[in-house]
Amino acid sequence: MIRAMRPVVIAANWKMHTTPADAGELAREVARRTRVEGVTRVICPPFVCLAAVRDALVDADPDVGVGAQDVHYELAGAYTGDISAPMLAGLASWVIVGHSERRRDHDESDERIGRKVERAVDGGLRPILCVGERLDDRDAGQATEVVDGQLAGALFNRDGGRLAAAGLVIAYEPVWAIGTGRNASGQDAAAMAEAIRETLARLRWAAPAEIPILYGGSVTAANIGEFLSEPAIDGALVGGASLKPDEMAGIVGRAGVTAAARLAAIA
């Protein structure tokens, strides 16, 4: 069942692209091309571009949220090169946590990712918690077990009500479908979204059906419709395509169709 509390969210993850010199103009163009009713839009640039994107969106479209790509699990300390939640105050209102590239390149554990979610909420940031299985997990028939373990490892014994009230979003990103030539289907994503909500129920979350779940796996304007046609999917975490205004216009435009249909269904 679609609930009014489940927004349609399109989050742009610019990864390690753009500089302060060009990020603002790209943000303005994306904002201008994606003014669609009913869709929550977020742009997550590199840390060094947060201020430029924030300032650009103040004039171009303040309805577009700004997100960071990571946050540290401590509020302060001897952690050279890291960024804490208090440092992001005034720069971002969202943050990506546990992205597959952070897990792969920085050996981030589920427990540490859970601590990051807590620190994000403490700092007034809305977290996008990423989970997803690798190709060998999928081929071994262990996709659901892996994602269940990631969620349980990050969220066990944490206050689900508090995290839900803070606007936690979960992004399912099948690592095997990112840049490998193999594609996930809408049915794959929907099945995992249902499994994620079942895990949240097992963790005794009061209303797992109200947690937005995004799909993130080589999303483009050409394939977004397949995922958003699934009632269990509430948007997308967009990687490479988010750097292309034409692609973002198509993705957000299709998200607007979904948002309008859901609004009509509950009217």
What are 245's strand-pairing partners?
none
Q: Say which residues have a Cβ less than 8 Å from residue 182's Cβ, sequence separation at least 6.
A: 135, 176
pLDDT of residue 4: 47
In a domain, 1, yes or no: no
Q: What is the pTM of this model?
A: 0.96
In a domain, 86, yes or no: yes
In a domain, 126, yes or no: yes
CB 20 within 8 A of CB 49: yes
Options 101, 173, 230, 247, the catalytic residue:
173
Say how many domains are in the chain: 1
In a domain, 134, yes or no: yes
pLDDT along the chain (267 residues), means of 10: 72 98 98 97 98 96 98 97 98 98 95 98 98 93 96 95 96 87 88 97 93 95 97 97 98 97 88
pLDDT of residue 1: 43
- Distance CA(233)–CA(190), nearest Å, equals 6
Let me know if 72 is a catalytic residue: no
CB 247 within 8 A of CB 21: no
Look up the domain containing 104 and give its range.
8-266
Let me know if 226 is a catalytic residue: no
**Kind plus residue range of the DSSP H or E element containing 235:** strand 235-238
Q: Say which residues have a Cβ less than 8 Å from residue 150's Cβ, sequence separation at least 6.
A: 98, 110, 113, 131, 132
pLDDT of residue 3: 47
Q: What is the CATH number of the domain that holds 215?
A: 3.20.20.70
Options 99, 108, 230, 247, the catalytic residue:
99
Amino acid identity for residue 249 in this structure: A
pLDDT of residue 77: 97
